Structure 1
Amino acid sequence: MTTLDLTGRTAIITGASRGIGLATAEAIAAAGGNVVLTSRSQESADAAAAQVGRGALGIAAHATDAEAARRCVESTLETFGSIDILVNNAGTNPAYGPVIDQDHARFAKTFDVNLWAPILWTSLAVEAWMGDNGGSVVNMASIGGLGFEPNLGLYNASKAALIHLTKQMALELSPKIRVNAIAPGVVRTKLAAALWQEHEEQLTATTASGRIGEPGDIASAIVFLASDAASWVTGETMVIDGGQRLGDASEFRREVTARV
């Protein structure tokens, strides 16, 4: 049987100073892997790496800074000798409101971080190691990329494009490199705070699993996709949303209660 053992493997995780990125670093380390955590500042990267502990290295590298990304890849190889896993986790959403109300600056930042950065980091990882040795790439998408909702159209468009790009890269980089994506629902992170902070109780009541997501829920799925247990999985987008895409679960619960 294949396992989730990542002993001897090294992962780079972008945007890993908090939230899903940090939880992923902790989960990969717990599975035996080495982890490189990136953040915009060296201080926050070092703090995150210290929280993970042994086998963790923090490196300052903004997701869209090509030179910083290249230095990070080089430092990873110098320190650990391989890049077996790449988690393109860094994301942003400066654009809120109808699509036609957004300016080019917000558009550019959203697509640069959410779409271009995964291309940049994947190309560097492939050039430096994965192209010859194989590996696993996991892109952080969103259930927003699978549907429509008010005020988040630009962000969701970037995630829809990332889902498409995941399939494209899975074909282009086959057979040595597997490329998959995770599409989280509403998770307790700072980036998603506007979606849950003021109405968590209401959201919990309408979610089939009865709670919003935690960073660890997503991290567990990433460890699976990075491991040999997912060796025949590529080009897929795994939805981890507690049933949020199913719709309002509260109506069903009332019906079941009434029958009982």
Structure 2
Amino acid sequence: MKKAIVTGAASLIGQGICRALVDDGWTVAAFDLKPGPGHTRSVTCDVGDEASVNAAFAELGWDRLDLLVNNAGVAEPDRGPMTELSLAEWRKVVDSHLTGAFLMSRAAISVFGDEGVIINMVSTRACMSEPNTEAYAASKGALVALTHAMAISLGPKVRVNAIAPGWISDGQDLRPIDHAQHPVGRVGRPEDIAGAVLYLAGAGFITGQVLTLDGGMTRKMIYAE
């Protein structure tokens, strides 16, 4: 049975990924500060802290790993005006997304079997922004670069790709206009991302790439009427 670690497993997207992997027959370890979804092994881990990551891998005790999904990270992009953004807050966001992916990937390398897969969760915010999202956008942009750098360094044994979600929701409190502005006609769902994880986990000729799942929003010209 194949084994996977999913970080940020208690989040909306993380839960969806865990459930899809379990349904597909994977054994899944859910790394998070909160318990993961059912049928996973929950391991408490602060991915941005080196000691916590090392302790989590030791607690897990696996001698083989097939897939690492680096999904953890501070969820709210808007951290307020840059002039008021503290260094501590900046580091909190960057560590949760970028440093966490580095620490988790570094720890996973020695546990991968004959083949391994790393999937980094980036964002369409790596290439487009709303105001007051500097730390989040910088983290995701750097994670895109880390993805192709690791793909070259770790290949051919380990394939490394990224998924860039757009607007993903559980479907609550959405307006018709929220759906209609997407070229596909709806806001994204966690299962959309989970399906992409399953695809990349088995796509043996793809590495160093970013798969964008945003319903076409980054290909749509938007002008004020």
State TM-score, norm by structure 1: 0.79
How do 1:154-169 and structure 2 match up within 5 A?
154-169=135-150
1:232 pairs with one of 192, 205, 215: 205
Shift of 1:29: 1.1
RMSD across aligned positions (CA): 2.3
Unmatched segments (≥5 aa) in structure 2? none
Higher strand share: 2
| Residues 1:67 and 2:51 aligned together | yes
Shift of 1:31: 1.3
Alignment correspondent of 2:103: 120
C-alpha distance in 2 between matches for 1:164 and 1:208? 28
Counterparts in 2 of 1:82 and 1:147: CA distance versus 1, 3 Å = same
Match for 1:82: what amino acid?
A: R
Verify the 8 A CA contact 2:98 2:139 in the aligned structure 1. yes
Alignment correspondent of 2:66: 84
SS in 1 for 2:65: coil
Verify the 8 A CA contact 1:118 1:139 in the aligned structure 2. yes
How do 1:1-260 and structure 2 match up within 5 A?
8-41=1-34, 44-45=35-36, 48=37, 51=38, 53=39, 56-78=40-62, 81-92=63-74, 93=76, 95-127=78-110, 129-130=111-112, 133-188=114-169, 200-227=175-202, 230-247=203-220
Counterparts in 2 of 1:82 and 1:200: CA distance versus 1, 3 Å = farther
SS in 2 for 1:231: coil
Percent identity reads 33
Q: Deviations over 1:199-223 (max 9, x none)?
A: 6432212111111111111011011
Unmatched segments (≥5 aa) in structure 1? 1-7, 190-195, 252-260
Counterparts in 2 of 1:120 and 1:9: CA distance versus 1, 3 Å = same
Counterparts in 2 of 1:147 and 1:241: CA distance versus 1, 3 Å = same
Counterparts in 2 of 1:250 and 1:216: CA distance versus 1, 3 Å = farther
SS in 2 for 1:211: coil
Verify the 8 A CA contact 1:98 1:151 in the aligned structure 2. yes
Q: Deviations over 1:51-109 (max 9, x none)?
A: 2x2xx21111112232332232234344xx42110000001146523434311111100
Counterparts in 2 of 1:87 and 1:226: CA distance versus 1, 3 Å = same
C-alpha distance in 1 between matches for 2:72 and 2:175? 24
C-alpha distance in 2 between matches for 1:106 and 1:197? 29
C-alpha distance in 2 between matches for 1:64 and 1:187? 24
Higher helix share: 1
Counterparts in 2 of 1:147 and 1:94: CA distance versus 1, 3 Å = closer
Match for 1:14: what amino acid?
A: T
C-alpha distance in 2 between matches for 1:18 and 1:108? 21
Q: Deviations over 1:164-221 (max 9, x none)?
A: 11011111111100010000001116xxxxxx97664322121111111111110110
Match for 2:182: what amino acid?
A: T
Verify the 8 A CA contact 2:78 2:131 in the aligned structure 1. no
Whose Rg is larger? 1
Q: Deviations over 1:89-143 (max 9, x none)?
A: 001146523434311111100100010000000000013x12x633000001000
Counterparts in 2 of 1:221 and 1:126: CA distance versus 1, 3 Å = same
C-alpha distance in 2 between matches for 1:94 and 1:208? 24
